[in-house]
Amino acid sequence: MKPHCPPSRLFGIVPLFVAAIATNELPGQTRSVTVTETTDRIIVDGALDEAIWAQAPKIGELVQRQPDTGEAPTERTDVVLLYDANNLYVGIVAFDSEPDKVIGTDMERDASLTSNDSLEIILDTFRDQRNAFYFATNPSGAFVDGLAYGNEELNTDWNAIWEVRTKRTDFGWIAEIAIPFKSLNFPAESSEWGFNIERNVVRKLEQARWTGARLETNFLQISEAGRITGLSGLNQGIGLDVRPFVAASWLDSDTSPYDGFDAEPGLDISYNITPSLKLTGTLNTDFGETEVDERQINLDRFSLFFPEKRSFFLEDAGVFTFASTGPQSPGGIPSAGADVYPFFSRRIGLVNGQEVPLDIGAKLTGKTGNTDIGLLAVQTGSTDLVDDETLAVVRLKQNVLEQSYIGGIFTSGNAASGPSSQTYGIDARLSTSSFMGNSQNLAVNAFALRSDNEGVSDDDGSYGLSAHYPNDKYVGEFVYRVIEENFNPALGFVQRRNVEMYRVGASYNPRPKNFLDIQQMFHDIFYTQFNRLDNGHIESTELHITPLDWHFNSGDSIHAIFDYDRTYERLFEPFQIAPGVILQPGEYHNNRWKTTVASARKRNFVGFVNASYGDFWSGTAEQISATFTFKLPPKFNFSIAANQTFAHLPEGDFIARILTSNIDYSISPFLSFTNLVQYDNRSDNLGLQSRIRWTITPGRDLFVVFNQGWLQDPMGGFRFQSQDTKVSTKFQYTFRF
């Protein structure tokens, strides 16, 4: 064990006036620092006791984003950047005046760190201000990594090979990070990257950043990153990763004829054709380690959306995003339910909830000049449901100005073995973080799409325009979207068709000083309307008003006391909302109110309760959702959630109920046990998924997954009959060249 090192030994003594200088960061000012080259051998152990850590210059003081914007942080953070031929090293000393109150409750890979003290890093290796690599950790040494894109979005299902070790001390905590250059894509001729770092102190609701420390700026706004320079002689190797795996499963099923044991090898390969273009291939793909979907019960007429969770499709998924989704409304605002996905990867390898084998797949992603490229080709196998199919997607984005693009997309094939199908379209995004010369964000999106399906010749398009003004004190939103009756992207997803949608909304979010210990207040008004294209009638409207949403400096929140929703629905044909409960064609006017409260995430016991009440279609309903979480940091997390609707309609009463529990135990950041239990009374199915993930060393992982299903006795109660049992294992080993 290495000896304890005091802070003065780690980074030296920082003059107090440096903090004052740092607080004078101006809007639009870009900070820059030269990374120190080292030939010393760095051992990543969280100690920072190699001499170079004390000798190298720091990047400069962080600046508060909140609660006191522009001021010096209440807790000092020292950051040093080093590099050698193979790795970028980040050494961080997070000083804390109350080290016994440092919070680190999660160790699971890619865990949400919103309730933890944390350090977050973005690396914009191409300096395109649009895409970046993301790394984060907490005092318990959690590994969190992902791909940031679009200045707002983050995909944490991308997993890199990297190292992090943390250590708690009597003056705070330390993080030591090594990121191999072989894990990154970057132009070989460039010595300058975009860089930013943020520290979160949860108990104080304090955020501090190196650059972009403004309330209007999200940390994932890559355009706000500073610069690190001096990087040269970096070793990317030949850019080849070979990851063979062996997957095995055993199934005992009452619902499927495919009982028995199965074991097959497979192979994943990635190769950097150029430093900025990566080719990814998969052979005999297995998704046995993938988490199951969260249960949903559909109480409206439109398709439910289930997110993609399979790693092959999630890696570099940002390049395939299209301007027909979003914009993302403020938290608590009901979704419009009219996003259009010309490409939705869940349509590949899943048909009617059943898996379809992926025999071979290839994906080319990256950049050439100012053009983002995404090419995907997959060959699926045949089953009793579908024939084998060849499916392809082409996505191009030409970057213009600082944060904008013009793009196009083309898809070919039909995963459901229906008539031949193609979808093609164009989109554009104009975005700025200095609207009208101020530090304000504005994004305008436009798109046009057409699905070319055999036997369909008209009304097969979708197009739209949106404007989004997402800032701290004021938020504005306008969306116009048309989805024609026969628009049907075979490799995409559409929730509703034959509609024209208008959505307009605004939020006013002041931060009062010294008023009831409130951090920020939110006030929203959003209106959404859908018109039928075939007859011009209004199909539905919704007016949502949030008169009171208070977030306190304690971390507790009253999200709503009397949120108001006034909705109008017109049914043109009968709609079965629950078994035996059929709503007839006609007009339905509803008024509903909602109350929501949440306790601070910094506590070991956290609660969230949402209750709504009022009109519901032809009658009334009470809807209650509640989640309670108990933590024994940093190894044990237990949560239980209930989502229930108690409906009282002239056509018949019904209850829709979903119960969920997560029981997670992490021995270390490298070995975790997760358990998900779910029940819903629509299917009367109780399900359990238990997952073990053991990272032997970065790049070498073992997964063991146990799935068990039970069917509830028709008489109800706690009588269940075993239905399906499945055990899956997967071992993967990465060879890097």
Residue predicted with more confidence, 436 or 471 = 471
Side chain identity, residue 329 = S
pLDDT at 651: 96
What is the spatial distance between Cα 142 and Cα 643, in angstroms, rounded to a whole number?
30
Report the run of H or E that residue 312 belongs to, with start and end.
helix 311-314
Q: For 484-509, how does the pLDDT look when each residue is reduced to its tens digit (9 = 90+)?
A: 999 999 999 999 999 999 999 999 99
CATH architecture of 7-229: Sandwich (2.60)
- Predicted confidence band at 32 (pLDDT cuts at 50, 70, 90)? very high
pLDDT at 288: 72
pLDDT at 8: 38
Is-contact 422 410, C-beta < 8 A? yes
* Of the candidate ranges 93-97, 300-304, 540-544, the one whose mean pLDDT is the lowest: 300-304
> Does 10 have pLDDT greater than 80?
no
pLDDT at 236: 86
Looking up tokens 């690190």, which residue turns up?
228
Please, which residues have CB within 8 angstroms of residue 622's CB and are 6 or more apart in sequence? Answer: 611, 612, 613, 645, 646
What is the spatial distance between Cα 643 and Cα 657, in angstroms, rounded to a whole number?
6
> Does 21 have pLDDT greater than 60?
no
Give the residue among 41, 302, 108, 94 at the shortest CA–CA distance from 202: 94
DSSP state letter for 195: E
> Does 1 have pLDDT greater than 60?
no
Q: For 95-119, how does the pLDDT look when each residue is reduced to its tens digit (9 = 90+)?
A: 999 999 999 999 999 999 999 999 9
pLDDT at 354: 75
- Predicted confidence band at 441 (pLDDT cuts at 50, 70, 90)? very high
DSSP state letter for 171: T
E strand segments, 348-414: 350-351, 354-355, 358-368, 371-380, 389-400, 404-412
Q: Largest Cα–Cα distance in the chain?
A: 78
Cα angle: 313, vertex 316, 317; to 5 degrees: 55
Is-contact 724 259, C-beta < 8 A? no
> Does 11 have pLDDT greater than 80?
no
- Average pLDDT for the chain: 90
Is-contact 271 239, C-beta < 8 A? yes
3-state class (DSSP) for residue 162: coil
Side chain identity, residue 707 = N
pLDDT at 456: 87
pLDDT at 29: 63
DSSP state letter for 4: P
Q: For 41-54, how does the pLDDT look when each residue is reduced to its tens digit (9 = 90+)?
A: 999 999 999 999 99
What is the spatial distance between Cα 483 and Cα 492, in angstroms, rounded to a whole number?
13
Residue predicted with more confidence, 347 or 417 = 347
Region 252-265 average pLDDT: 80
pLDDT at 620: 97
Q: Could you tell me the two tokens for 21? A: 């200088």
Q: For 128-172, how does the pLDDT look when each residue is reduced to its tens digit (9 = 90+)?
A: 888 899 999 999 999 999 999 876 788 887 889 999 999 999 999
Give whichever of 11-15, 270-274, 578-582 has the largest mean pLDDT.
Answer: 578-582
Is-contact 647 655, C-beta < 8 A? yes
DSSP state letter for 485: T
Assign residue 577 a region: left if phi > 0, alpha if psi is -120 to 50, beta otherwise? alpha
Share of the chain above pLDDT 90, in %: 71
Region 298-327 average pLDDT: 85
What is the spatial distance between Cα 36 and Cα 90, in angstroms, rounded to a whole number?
11
What is the spatial distance between Cα 256 and Cα 253, in angstroms, rounded to a whole number?
6
Q: For 444-472, how does the pLDDT look when each residue is reduced to its tens digit (9 = 90+)?
A: 999 999 999 988 889 999 999 999 999 99
pLDDT at 5: 44
> Does 433 have pLDDT greater than 90?
no
Q: Residue 577: how many CA atoms within 13 Å on its side-chain side?
A: 24
- φ/ψ of 85, rounded to 5, equals -65, -25
pLDDT at 23: 33
> Does 19 have pLDDT greater than 50?
no
- Predicted confidence band at 316 (pLDDT cuts at 50, 70, 90)? confident
Q: For 221-239, how does the pLDDT look when each residue is reduced to its tens digit (9 = 90+)?
A: 998 999 999 999 999 888 8
Residue spans in the chain of domains classed CATH 2.60.40.1190 = 7-229
